Structure 1
């Protein structure tokens, strides 16, 4: 057989051919293209083919994910990773949660701390964030009914008179941080995880040294981002040192 460009192609007399069947489809991050693409998840049956005729079955082929753009085949584990669009959304939510949590436990009386939190949230992808919106969110977080009371504290939990959370409230804040940060951590490079922790530290330090509650929340952030305790301590100390 001769192709259009004049090259001679030898026909395959015998071999193994796979007949694919599409199971479902969606969008994924294609390792071949390096971006978000449509995919088809496919299963297949292998057959021995002689002179173009399928003869003997050779069992099932491993399921694959086929990119609609490059037609590359990848293992189904590629679907476990987020698309770039989803990853950007997860990162925005993480920044928002860290800023809100640090501000909630540190108190909202400091204007510099409020401004640092607003700047951080705006930079993450919420350009319309205002101090008023942030204060309303902090109030809602403190009034969250989960965890046996309010985040602002109930008698006996050590809450301050200004509504800064006591032990029960801190536990709730740390739990919510872990729910947001742990799914994100495997998809961030070390420098990205460090940046997220240091952004929270910047808010905490805006009005002076770390308060115990602020440090507790930042340690929870570091733990959720898979940093060892000594690495968290090093990063928090570095944030406190003027450059």
Structure 2
């Protein structure tokens, strides 16, 4: 059988890469968490395998160690699956605590609903006593509603861009169900849930609709 002749590339541009740092990231091509290397390089014109003229800098780029695909540095803004799960847990916990701080912990039904929500979010060992203690600490330090809204914003705003509309609405409704466990919303609970909506980038009229619909569910 006749073999094809081997083509030798006489000239071209070659990039020499160096690794700046590494870590874990969510690889869009792999569809999961992977290791990455952030790399920068120098381009050189190569003739007969010999590097000659510099052709400028390359990168920095993010290279997936698994599939070797290259991405812009912005890919690191997407949290890993592990990190996103932790952010969701903390967000749900913060929403429940904020609702309890607004409406109080006297009602057994509210405490039970709060514990159920926090356990479902990823804290299976949570107890009513633990939540009551945390709410007491939170309200003793709080001066009005502004510090509480700031805390909600810090917990929820970084998460909002990475959630679909249904995911953001689900977090709001978790808080609504806790607030409604004993009766209709009180004014302070509505104020907190409105703050949750703002932090999650849910329009005010949509927040009102969702809260009204939650109140009609038996």
Question: Between Structure 1 and Structure 2, which shows a larger proportion of helix residues?
Answer: 2
TM over 0.5: yes
Q: Does 1:122 align with 2:119?
A: yes
Name the TM-score, length of structure 1 as normaliser.
0.85
Describe the superposition over 1:12-43 as per-residue Cα deviations: whole angstroms up to 9, x where unpaired: 22221111011111111111111111111100
Residue aligned with 1:36, SS: strand
Moved more, 233-242 or 118-127: 233-242
Gaps in structure 1 of 5+ consecutive residues: 145-150, 152-167
Q: Does 1:233 align with 2:208?
A: yes
Q: Does 1:169 align with 2:144?
A: yes
* Post-superposition offset of 1:8: 6.3
1:26-105 alignment runs, 5 A limit: 26-105=23-102
Which residue is equivalent to 1:220? Answer: 195
* Post-superposition offset of 1:51: 2.1
Determine the C-alpha separation between the residues in 2 that align with 1:234 and 1:15.
62
Aligned-residue CA RMSD (Å): 1.6
* Post-superposition offset of 1:64: 0.5
| Residues 9, 72 of structure 1: alpha-carbon distance in 2 compared, 3 angstrom cutoff | farther
* Post-superposition offset of 1:9: 5.2
Q: Does 1:205 align with 2:180?
A: yes
Higher relative contact order (CA 8 A, sep 6+): 2
